[in-house]
Structure 1
């Protein structure tokens, strides 16, 4: 994982610096996911490069992916 300062990595920005990276809905789902699985596992299991070139279509797909993960974890 990146060094850990603001702007170094989307996951750190959301979880540690309370920055909005994607949009409020996505960021909230990422925070909720972090309650179920470790930060390291989140880091490894998601393609974070989308944060740097997000489009409306990519954001929609990302929300679907996050939602599916949350539904699976909630059981």
Structure 2
């Protein structure tokens, strides 16, 4: 079982330890998403295991998916 400290999980690293994990834009999207969904929902709805060794193209795709999720959440709250 993980100790829950820095380096254990990218989501915790970004939200709780303010660490730089992916890139500034991606980390910012994740922080903004956390204002629209619970941390548990973020764990359940994002494939964090796929993020451990991403290429630049995969990171771009990951950012696009996070941005789409954020936009959808904002749109649903705006209605």
TM-score where L is the length of structure 1: 0.93
Instruction: Decide which moves more: 1-10 or 61-70.
Output: 1-10
Report if aligned partners of 1:50, 1:58 keep a CA contact under 8 Å in 2. no
Q: Please name the residue that 1:50 is paired with.
A: 50
> What is the alpha-carbon root mean square deviation over aligned residues?
1.4
- Point out 4+ residue stretches in structure 1 off by more than 4 angstroms: none
- Unmatched 5+ residue regions in structure 1? none
Query: By percentage of residues, which structure has more helix?
Result: 1
Q: Please name the residue that 2:26 is paired with.
A: 26
Report if aligned partners of 1:21, 1:51 keep a CA contact under 8 Å in 2. no
**Which secondary structure does the structure 2 equivalent of 1:19 belong to?**
coil
**Number of corresponding residues:** 75
Instruction: Return the index of the structure with the highest Cα Rg.
Output: 2
